[in-house]
Chain A
Amino acid sequence: MSAATAPLAASGPATGEGRQGFGHLMLSEWTKIRSVRSTVWSLAILIVLTLVFTALFMKMGIANWDKTSPAQQAEMRLDPTGTILGSGILLSQLAVCVLGVMAIASEYSTGMIRASLLAVPRRVPVLAAKATVFALLVGAVGEVTAFGSFFLGAPILHDKAPVALGDPGVLRAVVGCGLYLALLGLFALAAGAVIRHTAASITAVVGFVLVITPMTDLLPGSAGEHIHAWMPTQAGFMITQQHARAGDLLGPWQGLGVFALWTAVLLAVAAVQLRRRDA
């Protein structure tokens, strides 16, 4: 067999100038994303709704300012950036989770994955290109929503909790919010690649992020605190805080790093499975 391996590899038109470039694969993945209308619409709606909800929440916060508890007022004064970003992000989180899962699980549900793997039989580069393109896209959309939210929310809060982009920690929090969403997208994409079924993946990711993670806060003792702090999205979310709180176990960048680590592990599992499993 090894003796017969050489001829076509040397002479065939297929193996001419090196292997498929990663740029080719990224271009292909970009075509895949932009050519499914539901994805494009979802992203557009995500931006608009997040901005609308942020404005709405901030207006409500101000309208109810006098009825708000002093503790909460202090919290908003301490961290207006986190207040602004945190209100809309619940919505964007949900959308990013669903889109991340769909980006890969829809290939399995429609059978497209077979065409993709026939074109790129080494497989892992498909995942890498898809993850890169999706993360860039969600990152860009995330930054737009983060900056949009900030510039929309800051003037509304101004009278009660003034904040400017130049204040310490603010720019980092706003930029970090976009990064957080990009990572979350990757996290969901990796989960979709491992689970392969759209509905099951969405349930798992959304359940994990929105239900299980908050629930770990109820775990008792220092162990419970640590588990909660190191949960992927809990850790990642630290980046959106303007100031550290007493009792924070992770700093903003540390937290994002923890989230990145979780995501990298999940992506690695996805890559190994992609290589090993029959398509």
Chain B
Amino acid sequence: MIEAKNLTKRYGDKTAVNDLSFTVEPGRVTGFLGPNGAGKSTTMRLLLGLDRPDAGTATVGGVPYRDLARPLRVVGALLEARAVHTGRSAYDHLLCLAQTQGIGRRRVGEVIEQVGLASVARKRAGGFSLGMGQRLGIAAALLGDPAALVLDEPVNGLDPEGILWIRNLMKSLAAEGRAVFVSSHLMNEMAVTADHLIVIGRGRLVADCSTEEFIERSTERSVLVRTPDGQLLAELLERQGATVTRTDDGDLDVTGLQAPRIAELAAADGLVLHELSTRRGSLEEAFMELTKDAVEYDAGLPAAGGVK
């Protein structure tokens, strides 16, 4: 549905998006993950024809966005930065967008209802809270009943109720067969929303796989073993190919063997176990690990010279 091919965008000598290729399929929520400054917003702007790529192509259903005759009916977009005239009411904002595509007033009313802004629709958008602004942006995205949605950080500024609302909305939009492409810098948010993940760092593709696979792959399992026979067990497990490290408390942290197998080996040798538990690294850690080489603004390295 949405396809990026060898997309490259440079700003001066800084490459924001670097030879990026991926596809966003209909019928599922595709998460677009990356740390701040990874190039997510730039990529989305390239997809939407707001910026011109220096190389590569971005298409929607095979057509570059700029060539779509009635784009809002094909792709609905929510941009990270606000895109609303502050002096205009929510209703008039949506109306003037709708009129460009020949969409009627009835549809404007519908999307206002859908995002829950009916009571403030005639108020100036400049007075809206961040959350209301996001809802207005979503309403604009839904206006043309599009087959694809591109949402840049839609949960930004939303309260928990709003986050839940948008999560369910995205899932239901995907369930209706639409392609939903949503960016976030929060791994945990994506883990519960996205079916598929595209991860980038410094403008480059880092991973493109199902969320399940990503979690499986990135959260390497380790098993914590508490035992009075630490030395013996460690040697025994290492002979079986496991990697054993000792924690500060004298417990064993075992990777390369699963908990049941460790228990069996210990039992066979008559070693006592006080505790045996499988640990999973947090998803957020895994994400940081994966993109750590690709973080644009690293607070930990002031000596490295900051930006540029």
Contacts and interface: CB of A to CB of B under 8 A. Distances in A.
B70 A118 contact: no
A99 to B, nearest CB: 13
B71 A121 contact: yes
B73 A14 contact: yes
Interface in B92-119: 92-93, 95-97, 99-102
Nearest to B73: A14
A37 B87 contact: yes
Interface in B62-88: 62-63, 65-74, 77, 79, 81-88
Q: Which 9 A-B pairs have the closest CB atoms?
A: A8-B61, A35-B92, A28-B99, A4-B62, A115-B83, A31-B96, A114-B83, A112-B85, A14-B74
B88 A35 contact: yes
A195 to B, nearest CB: 18
A279 B50 contact: yes
Interface stretch (B51-59, B196-204, B226-234, B274-282): B51-59
* Majority-rule SS of A interface residues: helix
B22 to A, nearest CB: 15
B101 A119 contact: yes
B29 interface: no
Contacts of A116: 97, 100
Given A1-B5, A114-B79, A278-B50, A27 B99 contact: yes
Contacts of A24: 99-102
A160 B277 CA distance: 105
B12 to A, nearest CB: 13
Contact of B70 (A20, A29, A35, A115): A20
Contacts of B62: 4-9
Interface in B1-54: 5, 45, 48-52
A255 B57 CA distance: 48
Interface in A122-167: 122
Contacts of A121: 48-49, 65-68, 71
A207 interface: no
Nearest to B5: A1
B80 to A, nearest CB: 10
A115 B84 CA distance: 7
B100 A20 contact: yes
B140 interface: yes
A197 B84 CA distance: 16
Nearest to A107: B85
B85 A106 contact: yes
B115 to A, nearest CB: 15
Nearest to B3: A4
A40 B99 CA distance: 20
A111 B71 contact: no
